[in-house]
Structure formats: C-alpha cells, structure tokens
Homo-oligomer: A and B are copies of this chain.
Amino acid sequence: MSPGNVAVFHGGKMKLIDRRLKLTELLLRCSATALALLALILIVTNTQVKQIFTIEKRAKYTDMKALVFLVVANGIAAAYSLLQSVRCVVGSMKGSVLLDKSLAWAIFLGDQAMAYISVAAIAASAESGLIGIRGEEKLQWMKLCNMFGKFCNRSAGGTATALLASVALVFVSCISAFSLFRLYGGGATQRHPNLSVTK
C-alpha cells in the first residue's frame, strides 16, 4: 500500500465494541418502538364516564391538548424507531460498519430530532397532568383527578411508558452521535500498532 492512500483497519477491541454497540442500538430501537406504541395505545384507549346528577361527563385524551401532542409524538417515534430497527437488522446481516457520512448524518439528525420531540411531549403532558392532579389554585384551574381518578392513573401510566421510550431514544441518539463523529477521528491523536510515520 502506498503512502497517501492508507486505510487503518479495525483492531480486535474495536470490532468487539462495534458488535456490542450494534446489538445495544438494535435493542434500544426495538424497545423504543414497543414502548412508544404501548404508550400510544394506553392513552388513546383511555376513557372514563362520570354521572354528575343528570349530566354524563366523559373524559378522553382529546380533552387535553398535551395528551394529543404526546399521542402524535409517540406515533411518529414508534414508526421511526421501527424503520430504524429494520435498518439495523439489515446492516447487521450485511455485517457492515457505518462508514457513509451522509447516511450517518441523516440518522444522527433524525435521532436528535426524535429525542427532543419526545422529551418536549412528555414535559408538556407532565405539566398538564400536574395541573390535573394538584390544580393551579391562583389561576383557578381546578384539579380534576379527584373526579376522574381512573382516567388520570391511566394517563400517568401512558406518560411514564412514553418516558421510558424517550430514555431509549436519548441513549440511541448518543450512539448515533458516536457512529457519526468517530468518522471524523482523523483530527485527534491516535495510536495504531501497524503504522509508522514516513518522512
């Protein structure tokens, strides 16, 4: 091999790290898909009817805009994570390491967007939920969970499940950042047993 066109190949340790990282990424993406879908189902199917004198009151997720945002965000997260899981499986079957910078950038940006959208949706939903549980006395926003306890509990369960999905998405976004930025490692100090400097 001539100077000026030298490829530094994988060491055994890096290969092992690569394999473990790929497996972790796949597991996290599958978990995110399942958890986001579960959260979506928990929230969408949640409803409670309450008879107050002669008036029938029905609580459902569309009454609270934050829950609608959470459902939409989880729908997108589930679909995105499923697609990425398939990509991971196909990549593993081919046995290739991600070296295409454009693809690595696309995955990195997609993962970052998904993680932040997911965190924002949970924060908004948690805020609405807290008002529902405690009320905002000074603003005369009444607490509602004393009336619709079952509905509130299931919404809290859905939000907690979405939070777990979100944690998986955050970790996955760190892995895709690693997969992208390691490709720019030429600028850092590195050591390799099979290399020498030619002067």
Give the interface of A toward B (CB within 8 A).
1-11, 14-15, 17-18, 63-66, 97, 99, 112, 115-116, 119-128, 130-132, 136, 138-142, 144, 170, 174, 177-178, 180-199
Contacts and interface: CB of A to CB of B under 8 A. Distances in A.
Contact of A181 (B65, B66, B177): B177
Contact of A190 (B141, B142, B181, B186): B186
Nearest to A4: B193
A194 B186 CA distance: 12
Nearest to A179: B181
B144 A139 contact: yes
Nearest to A177: B177
Nearest to A121: B123
A195 B63 contact: no
Contacts of A123: 119-121, 123-124, 127
Task: Please give the count of copies of this chain that the complex contains.
Answer: 2
A152 B13 CA distance: 57
A67 B119 CA distance: 18
Nearest to A14: B187
Dominant secondary structure at the A interface: helix
B177 A182 contact: no
Given A127-B127, A178-B181, A196 B120 contact: no
A139 B62 CA distance: 11
Given A66-B127, A123-B121, A138-B63, A7 B190 contact: yes
A13 to B, nearest CB: 9
Contacts of A6: 191-192, 195-197
A139 B192 contact: no
Contact of A187 (B18, B64, B136): B18
Nearest to A125: B127
Given A8-B192, A127-B127, A194-B198, 17 more contacts: A5-B191, A6-B195, A6-B196, A8-B190, A14-B186, A15-B187, A97-B188, A99-B189, A112-B170, A121-B123, A123-B127, A177-B181, A178-B184, A180-B181, A183-B188, A186-B191, A194-B197
